[in-house]
Structures are given as C-alpha cells and as structure tokens.
Amino acid sequence: MTTPGKKIRRLRERIRLDKKTFILYSVLRALVILSAVRCFLMQNYEGVALCILSLLLFLLPAFFETKMKVDIPPLFEGAIYLFIYAAEILGEVNHYYTLLPGWDTMLHTINGFLCAAIGFSMVDLLNRKSRRISLSPLYLAVVAFCFSMTIGVCWEFIEFSADQLFFLDMQKDTIVQTIGSVMLDPTHSQIPVRVSDIVKTEIFTADGGTVTVSGGYLDIGIIDTMKDLFVNFIGAIVFSVIGYFYESKRGKRTAKIAEGLLLRKYTDAELEQQEQEITQRIQEIRDEKASRHRANNRGDGK
C-alpha cells in the first residue's frame, strides 16, 4: 500500500527530472517553509495554514502529469510555481494585495493568460488524438479564450460567496467620489440620481455606532470584480492570439512561446523511462539513508 508520504516523495522526484525547474521549486519551497516558521513564531496560524496549502499546491503540476500522462513544459511549470508563491505567500501572507497597488491586477492578468494556455492545450490534445475531428486554429483560439474567461468568472463567484458568507472582502472595496443610482430617485421612476464630489460617507448602525469613510463613497466590490474580469480578458486574448498563430504555423517567435506553454501527451516509452528514473532516484536515496544509518551505528559502537 502506497502511503501519502511515499506519494509526495514520488511527486518531488518527478519534479527533479528537469534541473532548472527543480532549482526554482526548491528555492520557492525553502522560502515558503521560512515563511511558515515566521508565521508560527508570530502566532499567525492562518499564515501557517496558507504556507502548508502552498506546499501542497506546488505538487499539483507533477500530480497532473502523473494522472493525466501529459508533459507540462518547464516554462509553464515554473510560471505555475511563481504564480502560487506570488498569490498565496506574497499576496495573502505578506499582504501584497493591500500594500502594493496593482498586485491583484497583475495576478489576474497572468491567470487569464495561463488558463487560456491550459484550455488551448486540452482541446489541442484531443484534436490531435482524434481521427474524425479536425478543428481550425481559430476554433481552438476561441475555445481557449472562453475557457479562460469561464475560470475567471467562476473565481469571482467564489470571491462573492466568501464575502457574503464570511465577510472576507475578497472583492476588495474601492473609494469613489461620484455615484449614480436609481435607488436615490424619490419618484421611483428608475431615473439615476448622480451624486458628485463625495468627500465623506457616514454609516450608522442599529446599535448607535458610527463608521466614517473618508475620501468618498465605499464601492462594495463591483469595481474590483469588473477590473479583474477585464484584465483576465486581456490575458486570455493575448494567449489566444499566440495559440492561433502557433496552430496556423505563422511566426517562429509565437511558436517558440506557445511550445513553452502548451501541454503534450507522453508516449508509452517516455512514461516508462521516467518511471525508471524516479524509481532509481528513490532507491539511491534509500541507499544513502541506509549507509548513513550503518555509519552512525558503527560510531555509537565505538
């Protein structure tokens, strides 16, 4: 029976197959562990949980390679590691989402780009494997775009649900100075009433408390949501164009970029060779541990 520890060890050895990717993985993994220790010492247990989650997410590319028998290119795999670290450790644990304006926008743009690459790869793999269906480059590009936007919309659903149920403010609020709303129309005839040059908003609670919003009116998440979807749209469009030119065999530069981001199916021979390399590496680790253990025992005997 394969234990979770053995499964994780095999996934880590699979990552080791590409040297540059493994170096990046090792550096980011060490940084996450250091962040976890720092959070623990500061009694920030939520941060510790996010660090543990990040370590598990780092194993996802190798897990999908194993289960789906696909090759994730080193460039794409490295981008996934950096994205996870930027979103979870820098964004959530180190509060970059609030400290650095545009951090969330940058990540949503990258997310749109990467999700379009995943969508394009999935359909492209099926298209190449099928003998009956031959999809045009334009169709593949449109599907990749739609896949990316669907992922972006689903994520906004998650943020909205978390805000409504747990008041987490994942859809970050925005201070605005001008609003227009039909709710302010006293005639109830759906005529938007515009309020400009707002400098302060007073919020009164049922228990007599007062909260002051300085600088304007507090927009509850809608601007952040639409901005996230818009930059996701830009990222999706960019890769869809790259994928279109790659599939239609136009332009060596776009082909090189696409090849570094598109998944491909492993052959049986490649899978067998990888399995042999992983098994050999795990056996070498076991031999090294056994050798150290024997050496320690001899030292204790003396």
The model's confidence at residue 258, banded by pLDDT at 50, 70 and 90, is confident
pLDDT at 145: 98
What's the pLDDT tens digit per position in 202-235? 999 999 999 999 999 999 899 999 999 999 999 9
Average pLDDT, stretch 276-295? 83
Q: CA 290 → CA 10, 98, 280, 293, 301, distances in Å?
A: 19, 49, 15, 5, 17
The model's confidence at residue 286, banded by pLDDT at 50, 70 and 90, is confident
Q: CA 241 → CA 78, 116, 117, 275, 282, distances in Å?
A: 22, 10, 11, 36, 42
Alpha-carbon distance 141 to 112, whole Å?
13
3-state DSSP call for residue 135?
A: coil
Please choose, from the candidates 173, 179, 181, the residue with its C-alpha nearest in 3D space to the C-alpha of residue 219.
Answer: 173
pLDDT at 274: 84
The token pair that represents 237 in the structure block: 């469009």
The token pair that represents 85 in the structure block: 């670290």
Please choose, from the candidates 256, 239, 257, 255, the residue with its C-alpha nearest in 3D space to the C-alpha of residue 111.
Answer: 239
The Cβ-side half-sphere exposure at 237, using a 13 Å CA radius, reads: 6
What's the pLDDT tens digit per position in 110-156? 999 999 999 999 998 888 777 776 789 999 999 999 999 999 999 99
- Please count the helices (runs of H) and the strands (runs of E) in the chain: 11, 8
> 192: how many CB neighbours lie within 10 A of its CB?
11
Alpha-carbon distance 79 to 63, whole Å?
16
| Domain boundaries, given as residue ranges, for the chain | 1-100, 102-170+222-266, 174-219
Vertex 211, ends 209 and 216: CA angle to 5°?
A: 155
3-state DSSP call for residue 171?
A: coil
Alpha-carbon distance 114 to 86, whole Å?
14
